[in-house]
Amino acid sequence: MRRSMVRRWLVAGLLGAAMLGVIPPHWGVPHVHAASDSVYITSSTDLQLKLAEGLGAREASITLKYKGPTNELEQLLKNAVNAALDSDPYTKYIVDRYTYSWKGTSGYAKINLQVSYRETAEQSAYVKQRVQEILREILKPGMNDHQKVKAIHDYVVLHLKYDRDLQKYTAYEGLRTGKAVCQGYSLLTYQLLKDAGFNNQIVEGTAGDNCMHGILFV
């Protein structure tokens, strides 16, 4: 009887420890994988959405599991990355560079995207916070759309100077230092217009031998 009670107490203790997560790993408690570990991407749309989600969070390494034919995965992946970037112009223009690779079989692949950003998640959050503060300062009740756009334009050109050292490419750097190249001007203007309710896009062009960025209303 005593031996049976000891055994029951031992089992109860193990169950309680397992629930609290305090059993040492060498005791052989089976590992329960999170649900996301077994989730597979099965379409180009899902692939694009997951990549966009990772890029928006400024993840430096994005790993996905794909289930489906892999004979054209290279082109599928290329299109999905481009579409994910195009879905968020702000993120697109703070991505400095990226590389992607995959390995697997004819019906399965593990995909990895390595990304380098010009702006961290914390810096992007700062930009969004400052944009809201700026809009509260410069947009007044009763303004029409033309007056709002002019107020945003005037704020940017009055508070930023062109970075002749060509080192500052982001809205964050522009807000923090007061200097940026045309890309930084465009990123700040884009975010101000977007948060003020104006649909707009960043567009690229050339002036002589120089690459230029500007804003297009859509």
pLDDT, tens digit, 9 for 90 and up, residues 176-202: 999 999 999 999 999 999 999 999 999
Q: Measuring CA to CA, which residue among 97, 123, 120, 116 is closest to residue 177? A: 123
Question: In terms of domains, do 57 and 107 share one?
Answer: yes
pLDDT band at 34 (very low <50, low <70, confident <90, very high): very low
Claim to verify: residue 169 and residue 199 sit in the same structural domain:
yes
**Do both 152 and 201 map to the same domain?**
yes
28 found inside a domain = no
Residue 9 maps to a domain: no
Q: For residue 112, report the phi and psi dihedrals to the nearest 5 degrees.
A: -135, 130
Q: Which helix (DSSP H) or strand (DSSP E) does residue 193 occupy?
A: helix 182-195
**Residue 26, domain member (yes or no):** no
Domain tally for the chain? 2
Distance CA 210, CA 169 (A): 15
For 48-189, strand residue ranges (E) read: 61-67, 95-104, 108-117, 161-162, 179-180
Examine the fold and report which residue of 117, 149, 178 is the final residue of a domain before the chain moves on. Answer: 117
Residue 209 to residue 79: CA distance in whole angstroms: 29
**Phi and psi angles of residue 39, each rounded to the nearest 5 degrees, phi first:** -85, 130
Residue 30 is assigned to a structural domain of this protein: no
User: Does 62 reside within a domain?
Assistant: yes
Lowest mean pLDDT among 31-35, 76-80, 143-147: 31-35
Does 10 score more than 60 pLDDT? no
Residues 209 and 133 in one domain: yes
pLDDT more than 70, % of the chain: 80
Is residue 31 scored above 60 in pLDDT?
no
Distance from the first to the final alpha carbon of the chain: 81
Does the pLDDT at position 33 exceed 50?
no
Phi, psi of 63, deg, nearest 5? -115, 130
The enclosing domain of 43 has a CATH number of: 3.30.110
User: Where is the domain boundary, 87, 117, 147?
Assistant: 117
What's the angle, vertex CA 180, arms to CA 83 and CA 159, rounded to 5?
115
Give yes or no: residues 132 and 158 share one domain.
yes
Residue at a domain's end among 91, 117, 143: 117
Domain that residue 188 falls in:
121-217
The answer to whether residues 98 and 162 belong to one domain is no
